[in-house]
Amino acid sequence: MVDSAMDRIERHVASLPRQPMHATAGGKKLARALREPMPERGRPFERLLRLLIGRVIPASLNTASPGYLAYIPGGGLLHSAVADLIADATNRYVGVFIAAPGLAQIEENVVQWFCAMLGLPASAGGLLTTGGSLANLTAVVTARRERLPPDFLRGTIYTSEEVHHSVQKAALIAGFPPERVRALPTDDRFRLVPEAVAHAVSADRAAGLAPFLIVASAGTTATGAIDPLEALADLAAREGLWLHVDAAYGGFFALTERGKAAMRGIERADSVTLDPHKTLFLPYGTGCVLARDREALRRAHSVEASYLPPMQTEEGLVDFCELGPELSRDARGLRVWLPLKMHGAGVFRAALDEKLDLARWAADALRRIDGIDVVAEPELSVLAFRARCEGMSAEDADAYNRRLCAKVNEKQRVLLTGAVVKGRFLVRMAIVSFRTHADRMAMAVEDVATSLAELGRP
Ligand SMILES: Cc1ncc(COP(=O)(O)O)c(C=O)c1O
């Protein structure tokens, strides 16, 4: 099975750059055709493989393509697929330390590498999650537990209107009604304004509410904005608030000098979300939450049970079930550990530096296209732009820019998505894939210029 799957996977991966960027037309029909009751009798593997690789997988967005610049791209390093195969086939248990001490330690190593990368203190720790959303949830629950009484409904959360919606979702799941989340307007670079947070905190205190958490972004999804982390850390310290930094997109740029400088202050966070399936180029399904005091995670999540083995008390030995919501979980440390061990951090640093260069190059090249304005310069590797629509109503200008985005995507060489920021539709490029290089970025810029010409200047 592995050999024949590998044969098809190899061909699939080799043809990725030539595959269309999106092939979801007819997707509903396909989905309906796949509906079936639980089969009573088996089918040969080869037939099922043909179905998957031949029909099901191609009918999708080509998220693994070098041209995928949409949303925040995921990675898909094959090393992690091999690590998953080993982890799943051997099926060891990493929920509790004593069941697989070596595998638990491998995940703990990865977590500690990430803590060191961000400059967190020796008290820090965390765990790998399935993604950034679960990491944000774990952090919000931990902050709630650390900073609020059991009757916590007066608790209020401060963040920017540009924060990823998983933070609002985390607040909701953690029991806070939407009106307890202050999504504050941003400055002209789409960043949270510390003075606005301070103002909202004192107004809420005066109204009898209980401010407890600031969520800053280290790279917003729409424009890549990095909130002023130092000033927010000062404010959080002054006001006794928990500071969580959602660095799901930006975090791994801390491996680079430029990224580290851009995210200065992240080392003062109480907790951080990272997403190895974004900027560490891994396949979907790997997030990470870190806390400056690992014991805070334990206090928020640890529950005893007589049927479990004793938990570790010695320094550095971790039972992951005590730090987050999951008990049984895959040995997901392996999929991070294997590529880092095989290549070393230097290879990742170089790849991330390349993305920073590509984004800067793309912003300059877009600016040179007559009629294009770069609205959000790349702080890291996300940028946003817009066709200049002089004399048009805001609605017509947005409609034009949506058509521009669709026209670029019609060419099937890159896939772009947009976002509405401060009431305006912006077209974005998110350069995150390890497969994206200068040649594809040149196509992206060329397709914007050609599409603009084809649509006719607004
Ligand atoms: C800034 C940011 N935070 C959080 C998330 C949520 O992460 P995930 O999709 O891994 O749950 C995303 C996803 O794109 C994101 O861009």
Q: Whose CA is nearest to atom 4 of ligand 1?
A: 132
Mutate to test the pocket of ligand 1, among 221, 263, 272, 286 (most ligand atoms within 8 A of CB): 221
Using a cut of 0.85, tell me whether the model's pTM lies above it: yes
With a 6 Å cutoff on the Cβ, whether 129 touches ligand 1 is no
Closest CA to 215 of 181, 253, 185, 239: 181
Give the ranges where 64-124 is alpha helix by DSSP (H): 78-90, 101-118
Point out the ligand 1 atom lying closest to the alpha carbon of residue 134.
11
**pLDDT per residue as tens digits for the range 254-289:** 999 999 999 999 999 999 999 999 999 999 999 999
Q: Are strands 242-247 and 210-217 parallel, antiparallel or unpaired?
A: parallel
Please give the mean pLDDT across all residues of the chain: 97
Query: By the 8 A CB rule, do 228 and 192 touch?
Result: yes
With a 6 Å cutoff on the Cβ, whether 131 touches ligand 1 is yes
Distance 44 CA to ligand 1 centre (A): 38
Query: By the 8 A CB rule, do 352 and 256 touch?
Result: yes
Confidence of residue 458 (pLDDT cuts 50, 70, 90): confident
Beta-carbon contacts of residue 116 (< 8 Å; ≥ 6 apart): none
With a 6 Å cutoff on the Cβ, whether 433 touches ligand 1 is no
Q: For residues 8-23, b (16+ Cβ closer than 10 Å) or e, as one string?
A: bbeebeeeeeeeebbe
Q: Which amino acid is at 267?
A: E
Q: What is the average per-residue pLDDT within 151-166?
A: 98
Beta-carbon contacts of residue 355 (< 8 Å; ≥ 6 apart): 380, 381, 431, 432, 436
**pLDDT per residue as tens digits for the range 298-309:** 999 999 999 999
pLDDT at 1: 97
Q: What is the average per-residue pLDDT within 143-152?
A: 98
pLDDT at 457: 79
**pLDDT per residue as tens digits for the range 339-364:** 999 999 999 999 999 999 999 999 99
Q: Which amino acid is at 126?
A: G
Q: Give the whole-angstrom CA distance, residue 145 versus residue 114.
A: 24
Half-sphere exposure of 288 (CA within 13 A, CB side): 33
Greatest C-alpha distance within the chain: 71
Point out the ligand 1 atom lying closest to the alpha carbon of residue 131.
10
pLDDT at 246: 99
Confidence of residue 435 (pLDDT cuts 50, 70, 90): very high
Distance 245 CA to ligand 1 centre (A): 12
Mutate to test the pocket of ligand 1, among 275, 284, 380 (most ligand atoms within 8 A of CB): 275
Q: Which amino acid is at 328?
A: S
Q: Give the whole-angstrom CA distance, residue 311 versus residue 301.
A: 13
301: phi then psi, degrees, rounded to nearest 5: -125, -10
Confidence of residue 439 (pLDDT cuts 50, 70, 90): very high
pLDDT over 90 (residue 389)? yes
Q: CB count, 10 Å around CB of 394?
A: 11
Closest CA to 361 of 417, 427, 436: 436
Distance 274 CA to ligand 1 centre (A): 9
Q: Give the whole-angstrom CA distance, residue 38 versus residue 304.
A: 37
Distance 39 CA to ligand 1 centre (A): 36
Q: Which two tokens stand for residue 98?
A: 């004593």
Q: What is the average per-residue pLDDT within 129-157?
A: 98
pLDDT over 90 (residue 10)? yes
With a 6 Å cutoff on the Cβ, whether 249 touches ligand 1 is yes
- Please give the DSSP secondary-structure letter assigned to residue 312: P
With a 6 Å cutoff on the Cβ, whether 244 touches ligand 1 is no
Beta-carbon contacts of residue 411 (< 8 Å; ≥ 6 apart): 447, 450, 451
Q: What is the average per-residue pLDDT within 5-27?
A: 95
Confidence of residue 168 (pLDDT cuts 50, 70, 90): very high
Q: Which two tokens stand for residue 145?
A: 């537990």
* Three-state DSSP state, 369: coil
CA angle (125, 254, 334) in 5-degree steps: 50
- Please give the DSSP secondary-structure letter assigned to residue 39: P
CA angle (230, 232, 236) in 5-degree steps: 120
The edge-to-edge listing of strands for the beta sheet with 242-247 is: 125-129, 287-291, 271-274, 242-247, 210-217, 155-160, 181-184
